Amino acid sequence: MKLSRICGEIKYRCIQGTMEAEVADIVYDSRKIEKGTMFVCMVGAVTDGHKYIGDAVKKGASVIVAEREEETRQIPEGITVLLVDSARYALALMSAAFFGYPDRELVTIGLTGTKGKTTTTYMIKSVLEEAGKKVGLIGTIGALVGEEQLPAKNTTPESYELHKMFRAMADAGCEYVVMEVSSQGLKMDRVAGIVFDYGIFTNLSPDHIGPTEHATFEEYMECKSMLFRQCKTGIANIDDEHVKKVLSGHTCELKTLSCKGDADLTAGAVGFLDEERKLGMHFTTAGCMNVYAKVYIPGRFSVYNSLVTMLTCHLAGISDEDILRGLAKVQVKGRVEMVPVSKDFTVIIDYAHNEVSTRSVLTTLLEYKPKRLICVYGGGGNRSKLRRYDMGEVTGELADLCVLTCDNPRDEEISDINNDIKIGLAKSDGKYIEIDDRKEAIKYCLANGREGDMIVLLGKGHEDYQEIKGVKYHFDEREAIAQAKEELGL
């Protein structure tokens, strides 16, 4: 593609060469430079792309995009050089042009917030698919085109990868894309230039505050608010205490949801579902939809996630019937995921692997008043011991029995990790047993499950491997459960 076409929507200064140069691909990682590619000198927290201009020249780059003119003085005359204020911002707009603006061929739905983004993206996808739509999804668990998995490193991928995914989705016949829009993704211009059809705010609490992410909670909040200056319709949970600041300066049409007061969509008569150990929530709605709804994901937060899904899909023109059917069918891999085993007890897989997420999932499950709450978990090797102490303390406090086992021990011994967990358990005098083999630990729990028990497997969630001594071994908890069921005759 000609450079002039790629740069149609960016501000730049061409200080050398021609805008008629042909560009075979756009690259921001110097290791991927090939003859005829454009190299964008991205400035990051770890490295600075300007250091690799010499490599780009040697490998045959046809165009260099830089932020600092002094760094470009040794570039040979045959190479075109552009100067921009922000290489990250330019990369986003140039990538969109290079792939033919695929976001404009899709209905784009972006969610931001601290909790619930992954679950809610899957809920929206489920409802849209129930209505016969083909949907792409991008987020923490990965990227999907229908059911096909695409590689993804970040919750919100770098802009080049993002537009490459959008192109694959549009070419595969997707009509919609639902994606998590992280505060980092907004801060780092990964979604710059995209005008989302729907921008969604779920909730906000302190997270990702630190030297490599956000300096303060105020900065974190400000980054979240950027989404509502680049979407057509904003959808907001007005029950969240930070909603006014997140929506400050918004330029979109606003639609609201609530469980407490007046909104475009309000939930009421909220109750807990336990249908033969199938857990969930039920509620009624008023406003733009007046219906009775069920969702088989446990916890009060599921009502908010459901309201987001219902309001978004209603605004997108999906019928009430399709919305209710899709909502009742949704299951999110590794997020309070129920696995059918027995009518006597419930088995749940969840990704919780720190104190905050573990406390959240356990307090949610305790609202269903189990006879016993049993936790199966371990701890990640080569990670902070504080997390292990905290996990031990919270599970000891809230669970009736802990089964300490293997997670991803990496270079550490399982016994050493579990000894750290036991320090936390000792604070609450929590009961525990140890079974190092996770498959055997799961089998033990199924074999000894009693009527009314809830058995929750923590830490692995959507992962399908265990990392031991530098090797990743295939391990999927669903397969382990199925094997144990067969061996036990359940």
The verdict on 113 and 239 lying in the same domain is: yes
Low-confidence ranges of the chain (pLDDT < 70): 151-152, 206-215
Strands 135-139 and 176-180: parallel
CA distance 64 to 94: 13
Strands, sheet with 231-237, edge to edge from the N-terminal-most edge strand? 148-150, 142-145, 135-139, 176-180, 107-112, 196-201, 231-237, 253-258, 265-275, 278-287, 292-295
Q: Are residues 31 and 122 in the same domain?
A: no
In this structure, are 348 and 457 located in the same domain?
A: yes
Q: Which helix (H) or strand (E) holds 127?
A: helix 117-130
- CATH number of the domain within which 58 lies: 3.40.1390.10
Contacts of 100 (CB under 8 A, 6+ apart): 167
Task: Give the pLDDT of residue 154.
Answer: 74
Share the mean pLDDT of the chain. 93
Residue 41 · residue 52 · CB < 8 Å = yes
Co-location of 316 and 442 in the same domain:
no
Domain count, the chain: 3
For residue 209, what pLDDT is reported?
47
Q: What pTM was computed for the model?
A: 0.89
| Tokens (6 digits) for 264 | 């475009």
Tell me: do 86 and 179 sit in the same domain: no
Q: Is 293 helix (H, G, I), strand (E, B) or coil?
A: strand
For 426, phi and psi rounded to 5 degrees?
-65, -25
- pLDDT for 333 equals 87
Residue 268 and residue 405 in one domain = no
Q: Which pLDDT belongs to residue 261? A: 87
Same domain, 356 and 238: no
Q: Please check whether residues 276 and 400 belong to one and the same domain.
A: no
DSSP 199-254: EEE----S-SBSTTSBSSHHHHHHHHHGGGGSEEEEEEETTSTTHHHHTTT--SEE
Domain end residue (candidates: 98, 119, 151): 98
CA-CA distance, 310 to 174, in Å (whole number)? Answer: 20
- For the chain, the 3-state helix, strand and coil shares in percent, each to the nearest 5, are 35, 25, 40
Closest of 304, 313, 334, 338 to residue 127, by C-alpha: 313
Predicted local distance difference test score (pLDDT) of residue 213: 58
Range of the domain at 420: 337-488
Whole-angstrom distance, CA of residue 262 vs CA of residue 268: 11
